[in-house]
Amino acid sequence: MSDLIDDPTPGQNAPEFSVSEISGAVKRMVEGEFGRVRVKGEVGRVVWARSGHLYFDLKDDRAVLAAVSWKGQAARLPIRPEEGMEVVATGKLTTFPGQSKYQMIVDDVRPAGVGALMAMLEKRKKALAAEGLFAADRKKPIPYLPRVIGVVTSPTGAVIRDILHRLRDRFPREVLIWPVAVQGDRSAAEVAAAINGFNALTAGGVIPRPDLLIVARGGGSIEDLWGFNEEIVVRAVAASDIPLISAVGHETDTTLIDYVADQRAPTPTAAAELAVPVRADLQSALMSLQDRRFRTVATQMGARKQRLRDLGRALPRPQEILAAQQQRFDHVAMRLGLAAQNSLRDRRVLLERAAARVQTYVLKNLLDQKRLTIDRLGARLDPALSAGLSRRRDRFLQSAARLGSRAILVRIGHEGSRVQALSSRLSPAFRVGLERRTRQLQGLERMRQTLGYRQTLARGYALVRDGENQLVTSQKAATRAARLSIEFHDGTYDPDTPPQAKKKTSPKGPEGKQGQLF
pLDDT, position 153: 93
pLDDT, position 508: 46
Verify that 125 and 104 share a domain, yes or no.
Answer: no
Give percent of the chain above pLDDT 90: 23
Does the pLDDT at position 379 exceed 70? no
| 3-state helix vs strand vs coil in the chain, percent to 5 | 55, 15, 30
What is the mean predicted confidence (pLDDT) over 299-315? 87
Confidence category of residue 84, pLDDT binned at 50, 70, 90: confident
pLDDT in tens, 108-144: 888 776 666 777 778 888 888 899 999 989 999 999 9
CB 222, CB 242: distance < 8 Å: no
The count of other CB atoms within 10 Å of the CB of residue 26 is 16
H/E segment holding residue 193: helix 187-200
Q: Of 226-235, 331-340, 382-391, give the lowest mean pLDDT range.
A: 382-391
Residue 421, in any domain of the structure: no
Q: Kindly report the average pLDDT of the chain as a whole number.
A: 80
pLDDT, position 113: 65
pLDDT, position 260: 93
Does the pLDDT at position 371 exceed 60? yes
Give percent of the chain above pLDDT 70: 80
Residue 489, in any domain of the structure: yes
pLDDT in tens, 179-222: 999 888 788 999 999 999 999 999 888 999 999 999 999 888 77
H/E segment holding residue 343: helix 318-380
pLDDT, position 518: 39
pLDDT, position 430: 67
Which of 345, 378, 404 represents a domain boundary (last residue)? 404
Pick the residue with more confidence: 478 or 263?
Answer: 263
**What is the number of domains present in the chain?**
4
Pick the residue with more confidence: 293 or 21?
Answer: 293
Cα-flanking dihedrals φ and ψ of residue 78, to 5°? Answer: -65, -30
Confidence category of residue 406, pLDDT binned at 50, 70, 90: low
Cα-flanking dihedrals φ and ψ of residue 55, to 5°? Answer: -115, 130
User: Three-state SS across 204-226?
Assistant: CCCCCCCCEEEEEECCCCCCCCH
pLDDT in tens, 420-459: 676 667 667 767 777 887 887 777 777 777 766 777 777 7
Residue 309, in any domain of the structure: no
pLDDT, position 272: 92
Q: Kindly report whether the global pTM for this prediction surpasses the value 0.75.
A: no
Say which residues have a Cβ less than 8 Å from residue 133's Cβ, sequence separation at least 6: 234, 235, 238, 259, 260
Cα-flanking dihedrals φ and ψ of residue 159, to 5°? Answer: -65, -50
pLDDT, position 504: 47
Please tell me the total number of residues recorded for the chain in this structure. 518
Strands 101-111 and 148-153: unpaired
The three-state secondary structure class of 408 is helix
Q: Annotate 280-308 with b (16+ C-beta within 10 A) or e (fewer).
A: eeeeeeeeeeeeeeeeeeeeeeeeeeeee
Residue 150, in any domain of the structure: yes
Does the pLDDT at position 98 exceed 70? yes
Residue 497, in any domain of the structure: yes
Pick the residue with more confidence: 105 or 116?
Answer: 105
Verify that 125 and 108 share a domain, yes or no.
Answer: no
Pick the residue with more confidence: 302 or 83?
Answer: 302
Strands 263-264 and 463-466: unpaired
* CATH code for the domain of 258: 3.40.50.261
Verify that 124 and 22 share a domain, yes or no.
Answer: no
Verify that 11 and 31 share a domain, yes or no.
Answer: yes
What is the mean predicted confidence (pLDDT) over 1-26? 66
* CATH code for the domain of 99: 2.40.50.140
Residue 187 belongs to domain spanning: 120-277
